[in-house]
Structure 1
Amino acid sequence: MTTATATESPARTETVTSPPGDPTMIGVPTFIVGSIALGLVLTGYVPAGAVGASIAIILPATGLGQLVAAVWAASLGQNAVAAVFGVFSGFWLSYAVLVLGLLHGWFGISPDAAVATQGLFLIAWLVTIVLLTVATLRLPAAFTLLFGLIDVALALVLYGTEGGSATVTTAGGYAVFAFTAVGVYLFAGALSAATGGRPLPLGRPVLR
């Protein structure tokens, strides 16, 4: 009598993991829409007394979008990305609070102190984003260009605000449009990669 021995192979369980996702797919477009709104305010698309016109976009869309992207990046361990979106979340949300606070007298700031208050805001954020620019010199050149243009825009708006120059403030608005264009380029590259295409070239880092 012949006994046949069957050898059974254990079933292999394959674990299919989903891609972790890309926080820039939320962070960059929400940054773009808020920047467009801010640029339009600075270049006089709305009357001078309607500085709060952009807040309906900046507060719920840009500020919240940057925050979501920062939390998402942090959950993935993308610390540098989380830092960038966290900084800009703080910028946009604090800008919205500043404008609303000055318009509605929330902080007890007299009209005579309004310009100095805006100057304080701009100086604090200019220093912070210049530091961010320096810290990101190891990133591709497109990011350095983006942050550098943001520094220029903040510096122009600061000079225009402190000096009461509408011309310089308007120039700051056009600088906002310039860094918005870089943001559009970054988003186009990220979207291309996310949909199976090739990412756009971002340039060599300034530092290696």
Structure 2
Amino acid sequence: MASMDPTTNLEKETTTGTATGSVNGSHNNNNHAASQRWDYGHNPLAHVHSGPDGRLPAFGGEFQPGLWKSNEHRKFANPAPLGLSAFALTTFVLSLINCGARGISEPNVVLSVAFGYGGLVQLLAGMWEMAVGNTFGATALSSFGGFWIAYAILLTPGFNALGAYTEAADEASVLGFFLTGWFIFTFILLICTLRSTVMFFLLFLTLDLAFLMLACSEFAASNGAAGSSKTLQQAGGGFGLLAAFLAWYNAFAGIADPSNSFFLIPVFHFPWSEKGRESRGKTVRETV
């Protein structure tokens, strides 16, 4: 028995050492995993919290109407200003034509910017919004990028998308259907901005009204009311110009910070938003 004790002790020490090494190795692996929390190469959504802790209030520059995570530890840049700028410029050009600026009435010049900037670039920005975990931004920017591509296809003679409609009234009706669908979609997005900021909400409000005016303009043209159709088209152009400038406003809010700008622009939080309740300093019971 005495001769077996060293072996037994050695086995115990080996077993204990192995177990301790396994525990330490597991602990080290856990620490390594914790240190890789922000490793976006494995999981681009790893930074998303399940609760409000660590989130910042909406302001439009992140194209997120709810609480959002700061980009301090985010490997990807904020794609929202790019998408907003692409939307703004394309909308600006088309809206000027809808308003009849300088007597221009043909929208064909929009084709290049609709395909290249408002379409392709905005679609790419929407895809990057998916990568950073922003469902609202991904849905809105990708959809409006698709809108500009679809609109450019309608205007491109080579596609002949409207060639099947030989009557001008029928062509105006189907364009009205097209714009009405986008009015409904934008209204859904508008509802989601009611708890964000005034500038973010106004962007979607003016855009929704632009779609409504332009859809009604096409229906009026289909009914033979040329005068009303022109007036509604100009109204749609006016709301479109407002939407374009509001998109640029929100884009600037997302780009500007103390490192590159001498001033930051206000976004005006709604009093019932997270930031609005916080600024009033109400208790938890009062904010429920």
Quickly name the TM-score band, shorter chain normalised. Answer: 0.7 to 0.9
SS in 2 for 1:203: coil
**Identity %, equivalent residues:** 22
- C-alpha separation in 1, matches of 2:249 and 2:186: 20
Match of 1:148 among 198, 205, 213: 205
Q: Please state which structure has a larger fraction of its residues in helix.
A: 1
Query: Where does 1:164-179 land on structure 2 (aligned, <5 Å)?
Result: 164=221, 165-179=229-243
SS in 2 for 1:193: coil
Q: Does the alignment pair 1:111 with 2:166?
A: yes
- C-alpha separation in 2, matches of 1:40 and 1:199: 28
Structure number with larger C-alpha Rg: 2
- C-alpha separation in 2, matches of 1:111 and 1:105: 12
Contact kept in structure 2, 1:70 and 1:81, CA below 8 Å = yes
Deviation digits for residues 10-68 of structure 1, max 9, x if unmatched? xxxx99967531102311111111011111221124643x2222111111111111111
Deviation at 1:196, TM superposition (A): 4.2
* Structure 2 counterpart of 1:204, one-letter code: H
Contact kept in structure 2, 1:73 and 1:79, CA below 8 Å = yes
Deviation at 1:107, TM superposition (A): 5.1
Q: Does the alignment pair 1:192 with 2:256?
A: yes
Contact kept in structure 2, 1:67 and 1:89, CA below 8 Å = yes
Q: Does the alignment pair 1:81 with 2:137?
A: yes
Would the alpha carbon gap of residues 87 and 18 (structure 1) be closer, same or farther in structure 2, given more than 3 Å must change?
closer
Contact kept in structure 1, 2:81 and 2:250, CA below 8 Å = no
Please say which of residues 123-132 and 186-195 is displaced more in the overlay: 186-195
Would the alpha carbon gap of residues 73 and 160 (structure 1) be closer, same or farther in structure 2, given more than 3 Å must change?
same
Match of 2:188 among 124, 131, 151: 131
* Structure 2 counterpart of 1:29, one-letter code: S
- Aligned residue for 1:31? 87
Deviation at 1:104, TM superposition (A): 5.3
Contact kept in structure 2, 1:115 and 1:162, CA below 8 Å = yes
- C-alpha separation in 2, matches of 1:151 and 1:194: 33
Would the alpha carbon gap of residues 135 and 206 (structure 1) be closer, same or farther in structure 2, given more than 3 Å must change?
farther
- C-alpha separation in 2, matches of 1:195 and 1:24: 19
Deviation digits for residues 82-127 of structure 1, max 9, x if unmatched? 12212211222221122226x8523542231211110110111111
- Aligned residue for 1:162? 219
Deviation digits for residues 169-207 of structure 1, max 9, x if unmatched? 011111111111211211222221284446422122475
Match of 2:123 among 60, 67, 72: 67
Match of 1:58 among 90, 114, 127: 114
- C-alpha separation in 1, matches of 2:162 and 2:209: 29
Would the alpha carbon gap of residues 90 and 205 (structure 1) be closer, same or farther in structure 2, given more than 3 Å must change?
farther
Unaligned runs of 5+ in 2: 1-34, 39-72, 222-228, 274-288
- C-alpha separation in 2, matches of 1:153 and 1:124: 13
- C-alpha separation in 2, matches of 1:167 and 1:89: 27
TM-score, with length taken from structure 1: 0.82
RMSD: 2.6
Contact kept in structure 2, 1:137 and 1:207, CA below 8 Å = no
TM-score, with length taken from structure 2: 0.61
Contact kept in structure 2, 1:41 and 1:53, CA below 8 Å = no
